[in-house]
Structure 1
Amino acid sequence: MLDLKTLLLLEFCTTTLQAIAWVLVWMSWRHLYELKVIAAGFVAIALGLLLLLQRGQEASALRIVLDNMMIKIGLVLLADGMARFLGQPRCLRIGVFCLAAHLVFWVMAVALAPERLELRIHASTAFTVVMMGVMIKTLYMDRTQPPFLRWITIALLGEYIGASLLQSFLLYWYPDTFANGALLSDVNAWYFFQGHLFIVGFFICLLFMVGMRLSNDLRDRNSALAGEVAERRRLEGELSASLDAEKAAREEQRQLIRMVSHEFRTPLAGIRYASEMLEMMLKRRSEAVTKRLRSIDDAVSRMTMLIDRFLSTERQVEGVLKVEQLDIGELTQDIQRHFDQVGLGDRLHFTTIEAVSDYWADVEMLRTVIVNLIDNALKYSADDKPVEIAISARNKLLIMEVSDRGIGIPEGALSHVGRRFFRAPNTGKTAGNGLGLHTCRQLLGYHRGAVNLKARSGGGTVATVMLPMPGLVPMNDTERWEEKTA
């Protein structure tokens, strides 16, 4: 005859170790949140077995119900945890309903017929059959675990159902065996012994299921990682192809610019040669003619310099930007002289001219910017309307403003003005190609500056150039070498 107390102690120790193991498994893989439900189920069963060990022969009705309910709660948690883990519909509602019915029946049986032990055993058998049947259905519907593992677990559950039914049948067929006997007697030892074997086998099956789940997750992650690597390689190939195409496009652009530069230089050289011939042929020329010839020569020189510096794509190469200290007075005189030579100087009004002692820039670029802005203001204003120019320094910015009383810029086109080849719809047939303001913004970009356009009160436009001071401070040889080697 098996000793029941020894079996209960062995089963309690085993279940307690299993509960601790499941808690550690859940803490190691917290993303498998279902494992905490399984761990809670083993903890509840271990607690119920501990209460059984502490129960005496003359146990109160409350202890009888409480001990049994703790084990039944653990069984419900195991069923629900396994359903969650396998991704099947949860069975918590069925479990709670069975627990409530079982509790009501046991309370009534203990209170009204405490000597009828078979009533409580039959109720426990019914509860076990229902919950084990739910677990068998969960395993049967599952397709995430290997078939052999599912069928082994189903066989274990079926064995426990069979043992429970056998106990009830023996009690029904041989009632004298349990007559006037205590619930916890050596007669029930065989039932607890097979229960111990079941809980050990069920624990092993669940561990194998978790291992298979982790293995499948790892395989899926490796597949996803391999797909991501392949996708990145594909994108890398596309990026490499795009970079090659961009390099080819840039090379074509360089060739086009070289060709355009060459084509510009040819007629400019012809113009310069013609002006020199005129100067040689006209021995007695008036001051106006001399002034015009000098203006032609200056314009050709300026155009040649712009071709060499603005159209070049190698603007970052040392020597392209000619940085020098800005002389505001000389700049304004040069601008005035430029427009005097074309008969438009009388329309320029320099309203505010402040001396700036410490600003460094490519002066020729800034001159081109101001000339383009003034040229636009003159072009889109009536012949009798002046253009006002103001230059000042405030808030560590060099401010240059060109204001006119011209046709203005429509509000809808204001954000587009400055794009290459864009012209406002109100420009009409006025000559232009949409490159003037675009060129200004490019040149100002080398100085970290900007130009803003806004409507002027009373009609017209105000173009404001803002340049951070002190500008492009020249580097000494050491700084230039450090920049190249950075």
Structure 2
Amino acid sequence: MLNLKTLLLLEFCTTALQAIAWLLVWRSWRHLFELKVIAAGFVAIALGLLLLIQRGPDPAIWRILTDNTVIKIGLVLLADGMARFLGQPRCLKIGIVCLAAHLAFWSLAVTVAPEALALRIHASTAFTVVMMGTMIRTLYADRSQPSFLRWITIALLAEYSGASLLQSALVYWYPATVANQSVLSDVNAWYFFQGHLFIVGFFICLLFMVGMRLSLDLRDRNAALAQEVAERRRLEDELSASLDAEKAARQEQRQLTRMVSHEFRTPLAAIRYATEMLDAVIRHPPDAVTKRLRSIDAAVSRMTMLIDRFLSTERQVEGVLKVEALDVAGLAQDIQRHFDQVGLGERLRFSSIEDVPGYRADVEMLQTIVVNLVDNALKYSPPETPVEIAFFTRNKLLIITVADRGIGVPESELSHVGRRFFRASNARSTIGNGLGLHTCRQLLGYHRGTVELQPRDGGGTVATVRLPLPGLEPESEAECREVERA
């Protein structure tokens, strides 16, 4: 004969360990939040068994109701947790209704007929069959778990339902077995023993279900990862193809630039040759002719310089920067000479020419920058007003200012001036293309310099160029040695 107390103690220990195991599983995989409901179910069953072990030989009515209700709550939580885990409709409402009906019937039975143990056994059987049937329905509708695992679990639930029905049948057919006895007598030990086997088997089946779920999740993640890797490889291939296309486009652009530069040089060379021939043929040309020939020659030189430097998109890569020491006074004389040749030199006023020893730059580029700024100042100023130019240093910067008394720039458009082809709204009536200041900014970029336009007090505009000292590095090793010797 099985000893019921020992059996209940064994079942309590087993269920308590299973509850701890489920809590650990849930803490390890928090995204499977349904596991905490299953863990709560095992905790409730273990607590109910503990209360049964502690029950005395003549328990109070509230104690009888509490012990059995706690175990029934555990079954409801197991059924609801499994439905959640398998993604099936929840059965908590069914469980609550059955639990309320069971509690009401038991309360009435222990109050009205406390000696009628068979009534309580039949009520427990009905509750167990309903909850087991609910779990069987959940497993039957599920398709996420392997069929063999679902059917093994269904068979286990059916066996427990059958054992409960058998106990009710024995009580019904042989009422003497429970006459004058409590439910916790050794005669019912077989039922608690098969309940112990059921809870162990159910625990194992649930563990296998969790393992299969994690395996499927891992497989899905691996598939998603493989898809992401394939997508990234496709994007990498597209990016590589785009880079190759861009390189090809840049190469075509370089070839086009070289071709255009070559085509420009041919007519410019013809113009220069023609001016040289005119200068040689005419023995004593008038001053006006000489002045015009020099102006043509200067314009040709400037256009050639622009072709060699500004139109090339690979200046620094191809090493076209001609870095040399800057002679500020010489630069000012070249600027004055340039505008003298076109009859505008008398409007230039150099307010400051401060020498900057050791400053190195592409002098021709700087000359182009200042010429463009002065040309803009002359173009947008009244013919009788001068343009003031200054070269000086301040705060480790070489500063060049070009100030005029022209039409100025609308304050709202100052931030836009310098963009390619942009012209201020008040300059539309004057011939231009919006490239002068843009060219200045492009060329200043090779010197890490900036240009800024500001309104001038009393009317006009001040263009301020700022170039960091000491300038660019020497271009060749020979120049480096010369700098070191100096």
Tell me the TM-score range normalised by the shorter chain.
0.7 to 0.9
CA separation in 1, counterparts of 2:254 and 2:318? 18
Query: Which residue of structure 1 aligns with residue 484 of structure 2?
Result: none
Query: Which residue of structure 1 aligns with residue 82 of structure 2?
Result: 82
Counterpart secondary structure, 1:317: helix
Query: Which residue of structure 2 aligns with residue 336 of structure 1?
Result: 336
Counterpart secondary structure, 2:144: coil
Query: Which residue of structure 1 aligns with residue 259 of structure 2?
Result: 259
Identify which range, 191-200 or 412-421, moves more after superposition.
412-421
CA separation in 2, counterparts of 1:423 and 1:411? 13
CA separation in 2, counterparts of 1:471 and 1:79? 81
Cα offset, 1:87, TM superposition: 2.0
Aligned partners of 2:387 and 2:404 also within 8 Å: yes
Query: Which residue of structure 1 aligns with residue 171 of structure 2?
Result: 171
Q: TM-score normalised to the size of structure 2?
A: 0.86
| Structure 1 residue identity aligned to 2:114 | P
CA deviation string 1:15-65 (max 9, x = no partner):
233223323322332322222222232233223223323333233444433
CA separation in 1, counterparts of 2:444 and 2:438? 10
Query: Which residue of structure 2 aligns with residue 447 of structure 1?
Result: 447
Query: Which residue of structure 2 aligns with residue 3 of structure 1?
Result: 3
Query: Which residue of structure 2 aligns with residue 438 of structure 1?
Result: 438
Question: Gaps spanning 5+ residues in structure 1: where?
Answer: 481-486
CA separation in 1, counterparts of 2:339 and 2:175? 126
Query: Which residue of structure 2 aligns with residue 41 of structure 1?
Result: 41
Written as runs of structure 1 = structure 2, the 5 A alignment for 1:77-476 is 77-107=77-107, 109-110=109-110, 113-285=113-285, 289-317=289-317, 319-351=319-351, 356-357=356-357, 359-409=359-409, 416-424=416-424, 426-428=426-428, 430-453=430-453, 460-474=460-474
| Structure 2 residue identity aligned to 1:65 | L
Cα offset, 1:110, TM superposition: 4.2
CA separation in 1, counterparts of 2:97 and 2:412? 71
CA separation in 2, counterparts of 1:434 and 1:372? 11
Change (3 A) 1:454 1:82: farther
Change (3 A) 1:347 1:187: farther
Cα offset, 1:289, TM superposition: 4.8
Counterpart secondary structure, 1:82: helix
CA separation in 2, counterparts of 1:337 and 1:83? 95
| Structure 1 residue identity aligned to 2:216 | N
Query: Which residue of structure 2 aligns with residue 484 of structure 1?
Result: none
Change (3 A) 1:386 1:124: farther
| Structure 1 residue identity aligned to 2:182 | A
Change (3 A) 1:425 1:73: same
Identify which range, 209-218 or 23-32, moves more after superposition.
23-32
Change (3 A) 1:258 1:49: same
Query: Which residue of structure 2 aligns with residue 16 of structure 1?
Result: 16
CA separation in 2, counterparts of 1:8 and 1:284? 133
Cα offset, 1:257, TM superposition: 0.7
Identify which range, 448-457 or 70-79, moves more after superposition.
448-457
Counterpart secondary structure, 2:123: helix
| Structure 2 residue identity aligned to 1:40 | A
Change (3 A) 1:402 1:175: farther
Change (3 A) 1:353 1:4: farther
Identify which range, 265-274 or 61-70, moves more after superposition.
61-70
Aligned partners of 2:52 and 2:67 also within 8 Å: yes
Asked if residue 28 in structure 1 is aligned to residue 47 in structure 2, the reply is no
Cα offset, 1:447, TM superposition: 2.2
Cα offset, 1:97, TM superposition: 4.8
Q: Which runs of 4+ in 1 moved over 6 A?
A: none
Counterpart secondary structure, 1:316: helix
Cα offset, 1:93, TM superposition: 4.3
What is the aligned residue count?
480
Aligned partners of 2:417 and 2:423 also within 8 Å: yes
| Structure 2 residue identity aligned to 1:164 | S
CA separation in 1, counterparts of 2:397 and 2:118? 99
| Structure 2 residue identity aligned to 1:346 | E
| Structure 1 residue identity aligned to 2:297 | D
Cα offset, 1:411, TM superposition: 6.6
CA deviation string 1:181-234 (max 9, x = no partner):
112112221221221222122122212211221222122122212222222222
Query: Which residue of structure 2 aligns with residue 66 of structure 1?
Result: 66
Query: Which residue of structure 2 aligns with residue 483 of structure 1?
Result: none
CA deviation string 1:303-356 (max 9, x = no partner):
323322322233223642223344444433332332222122233344565555
CA separation in 1, counterparts of 2:39 and 2:397? 70
CA deviation string 1:49-108 (max 9, x = no partner):
233233332334444333323322322222222122122333344444544554455455
Counterpart secondary structure, 1:209: helix
CA separation in 2, counterparts of 1:384 and 1:92? 97
Cα offset, 1:256, TM superposition: 0.7
| Structure 2 residue identity aligned to 1:304 | T
Instruction: Report the identity percentage.
Output: 78
Aligned partners of 2:298 and 2:338 also within 8 Å: no
CA separation in 1, counterparts of 2:455 and 2:136? 81
Cα offset, 1:422, TM superposition: 4.1
CA separation in 2, counterparts of 1:351 and 1:127? 107
CA deviation string 1:364-412 (max 9, x = no partner):
2222122212222322333334434455545554444434444445677
Change (3 A) 1:117 1:457: farther
CA separation in 1, counterparts of 2:123 and 2:370? 100
CA separation in 1, counterparts of 2:78 and 2:469? 75
CA deviation string 1:415-449 (max 9, x = no partner):
55434344455544533333323222221222233
Aligned partners of 2:294 and 2:341 also within 8 Å: no
| Structure 1 residue identity aligned to 2:224 | A
Change (3 A) 1:124 1:471: farther
Query: Which residue of structure 1 aligns with residue 56 of structure 2?
Result: 56
Change (3 A) 1:211 1:330: same
Aligned partners of 2:49 and 2:67 also within 8 Å: yes
Change (3 A) 1:457 1:185: farther
Query: Which residue of structure 1 aligns with residue 483 of structure 2?
Result: none
| Structure 2 residue identity aligned to 1:171 | V
CA deviation string 1:94-128 (max 9, x = no partner):
44454455445545544554333334333333332
CA separation in 1, counterparts of 2:425 and 2:18? 83
CA separation in 2, counterparts of 1:330 and 1:119? 120
Change (3 A) 1:396 1:125: farther
